[in-house]
Structure 1
């Protein structure tokens, strides 16, 4: 992104680590004035670089012990079937992410469940009822090696 300089990249990198940083603390860490920091912060929100703020939760502590990666292949690819598929997926709080992909599957989903019975119920009640689905392949996570939503801002801004 041409609109992101080194200070902006550092600003958003700090916010990714701690989204609760005050403008005063952020300005101090960036060695800029609070007014300048506030203006940059506001501009990054307006540009859509900063989309929002949220707490990072521990899924296991909340009872989400099963994490599944689900490959879905569809037989119907028309606009209406795809729109209905996407509407149902977007409405499901169990689906953490959904990507339209290249390769064998049309979609790759990340799904959370309490346990295997709960996941099985989700497959039966939601995924098998999706329009035009011909194949559902699940891969269950045995151990999470790395999970982050933090983007390599400074590396991307150099590209």
Structure 2
């Protein structure tokens, strides 16, 4: 699928809001027949534009009320050290997102924990035990203004 048209974008917007919507309801909302809508969704899946359906959890209701953005500085960029860091990032449940960026920090992590004590435990027993990590700066999230999952 080379380009997305307005109908494709409408389909994606509605699926992003509710991935459990029935094909009939989706077709109604975007102004297509059910069979035509199904073919377009299938084409979006086959092209890789639409590659996964998922759920959004309310992490605060799950008791994960502490959220931080952690700016990580590495000591060196030796391939082995970086790979070790990335392996830990991949398996660590507290780390929701990780971004390699330009700028002062090498990586930016979005971290969710139960509370400040759990975050301190994550820092001391996980992040600071990774040989590649030189330092980390934490910005506490006071409130979410907009997230991709909720739009809030």
TM-score bin (small chain) = over 0.9
Measured after TM superposition, the shift of residue 51 of structure 1 is 2.1
Measured after TM superposition, the shift of residue 64 of structure 1 is 0.5
Counterpart-to-counterpart distance in 2, 1:77 and 1:9? 40
Q: What TM-score do you get using the length of structure 2 for normalisation?
A: 0.93
Measured after TM superposition, the shift of residue 150 of structure 1 is 7.0
Instruction: Note if contact 1:16-1:150 (Cα within 8 Å) is conserved in structure 2.
Output: no
Q: What TM-score do you get using the length of structure 1 for normalisation?
A: 0.89
Instruction: Note if contact 2:56-2:149 (Cα within 8 Å) is conserved in structure 1.
Output: no
Calculate the aligned-residue CA RMSD, in Å: 1.6
- Could you tell me which residue of structure 2 aligns to residue 155 of structure 1? none
Unaligned 5+ segments in structure 1 are 152-159
Work out which structure has the larger RCO, using CA pairs closer than 8 Å and 6 or more positions apart in sequence: 1
Question: Quick check: 30-39 or 96-105, which moved more?
Answer: 30-39
Counterpart-to-counterpart distance in 2, 1:97 and 1:27? 33
1:22 pairs with 2:22:
yes
Counterpart-to-counterpart distance in 1, 2:25 and 2:89? 39
| Secondary structure of 1:110 counterpart | strand
- Could you tell me which residue of structure 2 aligns to residue 8 of structure 1? 8
1:69 pairs with 2:69:
yes
**Hey, which bits of structure 1, 4+ residues long, moved more than 6 A?**
none
Unaligned 5+ segments in structure 2 are none
